[in-house]
Amino acid sequence: MPSNNSKGNILIVDDTPENLRLLVGVLNEKGYQTRPVPHGKLALSAAKLNPPDLILLDILMPEMDGYEVCIQLKADDKTKQIPVIFLTAVNEVLDKVKAFAVGGVDYITKPFQVEEVLARVETHLALVAAHKSLAAKNEELAAKNIELDSTLQQLKNTQEELIQSAKMAALGQLIAGIAHEINNPLSAITSSVANIAAFWSDRLLKYPQFLQKLSPLHQEYFIYLLKQINQKTPSLTSREERKLRSSLAAQIETCEIENASELASLLAIVGIKDIEPLLPLLRDPESEYILETAYQFANVQTSIRSITTAAERARKVVFALKKYARYDNTGNKISLQITDGIDTILTLYNNQLKQNITVIKNYQDWLPSIWCYPDELNQVWTNIIHNALQAMDYRGTLTIEVKEEDGNIKASFTDSGKGIPPEIMPKIFQPFFTTKPPGEGSGLGLDIVQKIIDKHGGKIEVESVPGKTTFTIFLPLKTL
Partner 1 sequence: MNQKNSPKPVILCVDDEVSVLQSLRIALRNGLGDTYFYEIAESADEAIEILIDLEGKKVPVVAIISDWLMPEMKGDEFLINVHKKYPQIVKIMITGQADKSAIERAKTYANLYDCVSKPWSDRILIETIKSALEQ
Residues that bind partner 1 (CB under 8 A): 176, 179-180, 182-192, 194-195, 198, 235, 237-239, 241-242, 258-259, 261-262, 265, 288, 299, 302-303, 305-306, 309-310, 313, 351-357, 394-395
Of 64, 140, 53, give the one whose Cα is nearest residue 102.
Answer: 64
Closest contact distance (angstroms) between CB of 347 and partner 1 is 15
Smaller CB distance to partner 1: residue 72 or 195? 195
Smaller CB distance to partner 1: residue 305 or 403? 305
Please write down the long-range contacts of 131-138, taking CB distance under 8 Å and 24 or more positions apart.
131/81, 132/1, 133/1
Smaller CB distance to partner 1: residue 5 or 237? 237
Check: CB of residue 480 under 8 Å from CB of residue 371.
no
Closest contact distance (angstroms) between CB of 175 and partner 1 is 10
Closest contact distance (angstroms) between CB of 303 and partner 1 is 6
Closest contact distance (angstroms) between CB of 462 and partner 1 is 26
CB atoms closer than 10 angstroms to residue 311: 14
What DSSP assignment string belongs to 257-305?
Answer: -S-HHHHHHHHHHHT----GGGHHHHHSTTHHHHHHHHHHHHHHHHHHH
CB atoms closer than 10 angstroms to residue 216: 6
> To the nearest 10°, the Cα dihedral for 172, 386, 309, 243?
130
Closest contact distance (angstroms) between CB of 191 and partner 1 is 4
Closest contact distance (angstroms) between CB of 478 and partner 1 is 41
Smaller CB distance to partner 1: residue 4 or 231? 231
Residues in contact with 24: Cβ distance below 8 Å, sequence separation at least 6, in sequence order: 12, 34, 36
Closest contact distance (angstroms) between CB of 437 and partner 1 is 15
How long is the chain?
480
Closest contact distance (angstroms) between CB of 250 and partner 1 is 13
Smaller CB distance to partner 1: residue 158 or 261? 261
Type of residue at 39: H
Closest contact distance (angstroms) between CB of 158 and partner 1 is 29
Smaller CB distance to partner 1: residue 70 or 225? 225
Alpha helices in 284-394 (DSSP H): 287-326, 338-348, 350-353, 374-391
Closest contact distance (angstroms) between CB of 439 and partner 1 is 12
Q: Is 128 exposed, middle or buried (0-12, 13-18, 19+ CB in 10 A)?
A: buried
Smaller CB distance to partner 1: residue 239 or 478? 239
- DSSP 8-state code for residue 476: E
Rounded distance, CA 361 to CA 340, Å?
12
Dihedral of alpha carbons 201, 205, 211, 213, sign: negative
Rounded distance, CA 224 to CA 63, Å?
137
Dihedral of alpha carbons 119, 122, 125, 127, sign: negative
Smaller CB distance to partner 1: residue 169 or 353? 353
Smaller CB distance to partner 1: residue 152 or 250? 250
β 408-415/33-37 pair status: unpaired
Closest contact distance (angstroms) between CB of 258 and partner 1 is 6
Number of H helices and E strands in the chain, helices first, is 15, 12
Smaller CB distance to partner 1: residue 1 or 304? 304
Rounded distance, CA 208 to CA 321, Å?
47
Question: Within its chain, how far is the Cα of 378 from the centroid?
Answer: 13
Smaller CB distance to partner 1: residue 68 or 288? 288
Smaller CB distance to partner 1: residue 34 or 382? 382
The two most distant CA atoms of the chain are separated, in Å, by 153
Closest contact distance (angstroms) between CB of 456 and partner 1 is 32
